[in-house]
Amino acid sequence: MMLQKIETALAALQPEVLQVEDESYMHSRGKESHFKVVLVSPTFNAVRKVQRHQKVYAALGDLMQQFHGLALHTFSPEEWQAEQAIPDSPHCRGGSLVDK
């Protein structure tokens, strides 16, 4: 399963919290197409959001080409202690070839 592949790849970032959710049911592109990741890691200390996302993309490598959407919520452990709130993902607005 893609979800398990994502979890395995992201283990390289030494997560304290790792939640991967398959949100494909909310979209029209088929199974295992959209994922939401909550990742708390000390590797994100003093690292800007863009750089955090780049680290995630690098860890996922070629897997990035195997799904359509990825919602990332990345936190340092200190930020996670203060925040612990993850926004709901929006429902799909269409836009796939299936919708035409």
Domains contained in the chain, CATH given? 2-79 (3.30.300.90)
Q: If residue 39 lies in a helix (H) or strand (E), which one and from where to where?
A: strand 34-40
- pLDDT at residue 53, as a whole number: 97
User: Whole-model pTM?
Assistant: 0.82
Instruction: Classify the C-alpha dihedral 9-10-15-17 as positive or negative.
Output: negative
Confidence of residue 86 (pLDDT cuts 50, 70, 90): confident
- Beta-carbon contacts of residue 33 (< 8 Å; ≥ 6 apart): 24, 27, 67, 68, 69
> What DSSP designation does 45 have?
T
Residue 77, token pair as written in the block? 């452990």
Averaged over 72-79, what is the pLDDT? 95
Spatial distance between the Cα atoms of 8 and 11, rounded to a whole number of angstroms: 5
